[in-house]
Structure 1
């Protein structure tokens, strides 16, 4: 099937953009169950990306149970699944509770990711972490929300831990976390002191990783998440009415296997 895809560009992580288009194609029935995805080379050509990016995107689809690789044969669609948004309602206080609960999940995973990074990081890992911090600062300075850059920073920390299973878990959870992160960042953008706190907390994580301080890295990452909840608790009801609806955006859709 010669399905047209839109070439992806800078902004959100390239593999995320590729995966999103492929998921949309599967949901729309463009790829029937039992059918094959186009070859890796063909997808790379259509999306105008490297084959490495395509492999990362296909790996995401595997984690969702949408495709399966058959050695020497290709990648096959296992089913369309049933997609449904997470049950968030911006009109009620549960939205605030939902964000806090998501942050609790992040705290558990990202504290360990930071500890592993402090144990295993190399020079290239530290360059990626610092580049991600700089990209976030530039995005905020230009008036952006910094959501994708924030995710990129935390993923660069996970990458420095060199545990593909942990990286894959965080990648999978990113689809649920984007809405929550967009809300916390919108809250933090309301006050200059909040913005400074976030920058300093990221710097503390990076510094502990750079010096090999395992306990310090875990503590810095956990503190960052605890403080995110505290900053969020400062927001008034008007903020939640305005921004809580972000939690129901398509990027936080989950897969409910039928």
Structure 2
């Protein structure tokens, strides 16, 4: 199998694209070019970590995305294999179009519908490990010095909520939706807000804490409302930056 050798740096899009998204794009490109032939095994986790200089978590999230998109299949204890044939095209939002604010807003509306119900289910099904993951993500967000420092923790919080539903379909769809559609992975959304970075981080942290509190209290209605308020707030800040900035000042 002709596999690329050496080290590949994932730096093409900087902060506008997460490492997971970059890795998904690179592996997809290699599959399409035949560098990773159909039916054969992908490089091991260690090989991908060594080549791209990323963490094990990034590699596993990328494989989860590729699996959700029908490009690879995983075999327990063996690894990931490129699918022999491509499944019918799944629903997909053009990543290029996400640089347009209107399209990001539409994507947020989709997330509101999905993640509000995920939060309600999480409130009824979460366990101690789920709660600890959410608490840790909140603490990491609140410790950030700059809005861009909090993106990974933001993703981690929403992924933990999806996992707590105990419905693998929520987690699978988040592995795609979360990476691609969380606005701050595509746009510097804090620039639409007049608040100082510390105030922005504090508000985002408080919104996540409200969701967490409802999930801790096994309050599905509160969790649903908290998630809707959080994502709806992001939507409104993009649609009406002057009004929301004035209200938050």
Query: Do both proteins adopt the same fold according to a TM-score greater than 0.5, normalized to the shorter chain?
Result: yes
Q: Secondary structure of the equivalent of 1:108? A: helix
The answer to whether the 8 A contact 1:184-1:232 is kept is no
Residue 151 of structure 1: how far off its partner (Å):
1.4
TM-score (norm 1): 0.70
Residue 215 of structure 1: how far off its partner (Å):
0.7
Instruction: Report which structure shows greater RCO (CA 8 Å, sep ≥6).
Output: 1
> Which whole-Å deviations, capped at 9, do the CAs of 1:161-201 have from their partners, x for residues lacking one?
22211100111123431456543633365414554432221
Asked if 1:31 corresponds to 2:20, the answer is: no
- Equivalence map 1:1-258=2 (5 Å): 1=1, 2-4=3-5, 6=8, 19-39=24-44, 43=48, 56-68=61-73, 75-78=81-84, 85-86=94-95, 88=97, 95-139=100-144, 141-142=145-146, 144-178=148-182, 181-183=185-187, 185-187=189-191, 190-192=194-196, 194-235=200-241
Q: Secondary structure of the equivalent of 1:144? A: helix
> Which whole-Å deviations, capped at 9, do the CAs of 1:126-165 have from their partners, x for residues lacking one?
11101111112223x1563532322122112212222211
TM-score (norm 2): 0.72
Aligned-residue RMSD, C-alpha: 3.8
Unaligned runs of 5+ in 2: 243-249
**Matched residue pairs, number?**
229
Residue 209 of structure 1: how far off its partner (Å):
0.6
Larger mean CA deviation between 164-173 and 185-194 belongs to 185-194
